[in-house]
Amino acid sequence: MDWKPSGYKLSTQDLVHAIFDKHSDAGKMLIKACSGDIELFAAHKSWNAILWLITSMIKADGESVYSGAELGKLKSSLPISWHKKV
C-alpha cells in the first residue's frame, strides 16, 4: 500500500504568508511540506502575484534585487505543485 501525505491548496494570500512569514499557519505548512509531511498545491496565478510582490517591493537603487533566473530557482525550490486551476 502506497502512502501519500495529505494535500492542501494554498490561496494567493496563503502563499504570501507562507513565503514571507514562517510563523503564520501557512508558513508552518510550508515547513511541513519541506519535510514531506504534507503536499501543497497552488495556482500559477498565485506565483505571478508573488513575482509582482518581490519585483516591486524588494529593490536596490530602484532595480529589482533578483534576476529572472533567481526567481525561477526560488519557484522550483518551493515544495509546491503548481497548477493552472486549483
Per-residue model confidence (pLDDT) at position 86: 58
pTM over 0.85: no
Per-residue model confidence (pLDDT) at position 8: 96
What are the domain boundaries of the chain?
A: 6-83
pLDDT in tens, 52-85: 999 999 999 988 899 999 999 999 999 999 998 7
Per-residue model confidence (pLDDT) at position 84: 83
Cα–Cα distance measured from residue 39 to residue 14, given in angstroms and rounded to the nearest whole number: 14
pLDDT in tens, 29-54: 999 999 999 999 999 999 999 999 99
> What DSSP letter does each residue of 50-83 carry, written as one string?
HHHHHHHHSEETTEESS-HHHHHHHHHHSSEEEE
Answer yes or no: is pLDDT of 1 > 60.
no
Cα–Cα distance measured from residue 18 to residue 40, given in angstroms and rounded to the nearest whole number: 11
Per-residue model confidence (pLDDT) at position 40: 97
